[in-house]
Structure 1
Amino acid sequence: MTSSALARIGAPRAGEGLTAAFLAALSEPVPEPFALRRYLPMPAPYGPAEGPTPASPWQERGIDVDQTNHSVVVGERIVVKWLAEPAPLPHPTLAAFAHLTETGFAHTAPPYAALTRVAPSGAETLLALVTGYLPEARDGWEWCVDEAEAGRTGFAATLGDLAADLHLALATFPATESALPPSRERSAMERAAGALEEALTLTDGEDGAWLRAHEPALRAELAPLSGIVTTSRIRIHGDFHVGQILQWRDGYAVIDFDGNPTVTEADPYQPAARDVAQLTTSLEHVAQVAVKRRGTAPSAAAAWAAIARAGLLAAYRARLAEAGRPDLLDDRLLGPFEIEQECRELIYSARHLPRWRYAPMGVLRTRFTEENP
């Protein structure tokens, strides 16, 4: 593929043939000003000739659920995610791809390559990510809501194992890799208190009045952060909710290592409890979705979330203990981080998706006994 052809790509749509042409050209060097980072070998016919090839290896189709960027599936084996806005390097996904490939973590879509553009100044921007396609994959906001509606919680232990395995792999990340300078790093309490203040400012109407009435209780939930000093900080996922866990033909897979889009200048090295708290609160959000969209009784949904949360945490702790790393989880951080996460969900709702407010507000109301069904 020529440089001019690559320049034309932009964010190609499925069916145009440009994504397939891009994959076909990867057997040759990428022309300047583009560059390619390779991770795992791609399957035939896109890479080395081994194993069966799909009947229509170059056929393209889109993925409807991908809204922020644009993903194209080629031959039902490869996914190319074209970034709507090129992202400057260093980029967390590329570091995660390289490290998880090196450690052998297999519970993710196989990372194959990343396409970048290099400016005359040497600055590099990420244009596209190439990964394996996971057959019969379903988004977490689909399969997990099904589980909540049916009252099934057996999946929770599997997710706990998956989260622990991910953190054990990420815990071996080089500790010097792109942490924030101390001058820009906020304490856990400062970060959480800031999120609460912003949520109070941005949430209006009846929900805003409820938040202000419960502000003292919310601050009390965050207060333990002032006295907690934790030494176990690892490279975390950063945006670890059920929507980032696909259920597919062969199990579950973690995706999207881009970090949390709602938190600016977040240090990639944080307590593992940060990821765990986001994952557990997302189970409670799933329960709220089941109530609103599936007609699940609020009391049944709350009970399901509590059982699923307990099962996930038990499996997570057990897996860390088996690996000799129980120190990775500081349980004292979970409660405060979960409250902070709900504040961040309210901030996200106010800024990007107003209709989502019902989920974090439902969780917060449920957590206070006088409002608990």
Structure 2
Amino acid sequence: MHASQARSAGLGLALASAFAFGGSGVAAKPLIEAGLDPLHVVWLRVAGAALVMLPVAWRHRNLVRERPVLLAGFGLFAVAGVQAFYFASLSRIPVGVALLIEYLAPALVLGWVRFVQRRPVTRAAAAGVVLAVCGLACVVEVWAGLSFDVIGLLLALGAACCQVGYFVLSDQGAGHGDKTEAEPPHPVGVIAYGLLVGTAVLTVVARPWGMDWSVLGSSADMDGRDVPAWLLLGWIVLLATVLAYVTGVVSVRLLSPQVAGVVACLEAVIATVLAWVLLGEHLSAPQLVGGGVVLVGAFIAQSSAPRPPSGPVASGPGVAAATAAEAPDPAAAGSELSRPQAPS
């Protein structure tokens, strides 16, 4: 796959991931209103996806021996951490505030790249993040219920940090800059074991044995329409989790954490629009303006990445790796610029 093709594919997958993740709340809200606890919905989401991915986990069981730290980190931060911290923050601060803080992750990703990996960050990328965050503030109408609960804010910030782990670990799983690794770990295998680890962690937190299982056999209300609860659960598991994680991780490998992170800001816009269409939650003028600002910020950030040289790009099993131009030049910058081998 050539560099331009890899970049186009990465952007397409990042958008698909944003759409898939953005639809999770629309499907989850009717289940919660039907009587399921939010943490139980999260457990069903992750455990169901882990069950679907079991054959993949068995196929790539060598990863348990070869990359245990990566698998544990992905499951703990990218799967369980984001969900648990976010839903815990909702009990103390408004939804809009929690969502905005969680989506500070792209800015934190830039900080990771600049100060931990010591790689340069373009001004355009930074400007794109600033625009996207400002747009998100309008999309979630953060001023509608601003509350300064310190513990709640810290929990939401924890979700943002775990979201950073999702982008950083997705990128590091590719093995970029590691001259000793012949072949990067398969991204879908990493996701499969991450979901298994996440299920184990969330089982302790959510305690699903106390769940009202009868809700899954009934219907849930979606803006006046009765929808089978099992159909909504299938949406959450297959589209908003399995498809979302697979396309998201692969897009990070084809692009970079900072670019994919800003494109992921579109999730809040997509969630708001879907809630408007499917749940009857109407958009205000500031939300429409904010959605446009997020789009502009995402476009600026994704177009700011350095253009790779023409020619084929090395690829791992089933997915092309990120371009060589996005990786630091050891001769010019020193070996400390390579991505560390080890967490939205």
Same fold judged by TM-score > 0.5? no
| TM-score (norm: length of structure 1) | 0.25
Mark the structure with the bigger radius of gyration: 1
* Higher normalized contact order (CA 8 Å, seq sep 6+, divided by chain length): 2
| TM-score (norm: length of structure 2) | 0.27
Which one has the bigger strand percentage? 1
Which one has the bigger helix percentage? 2
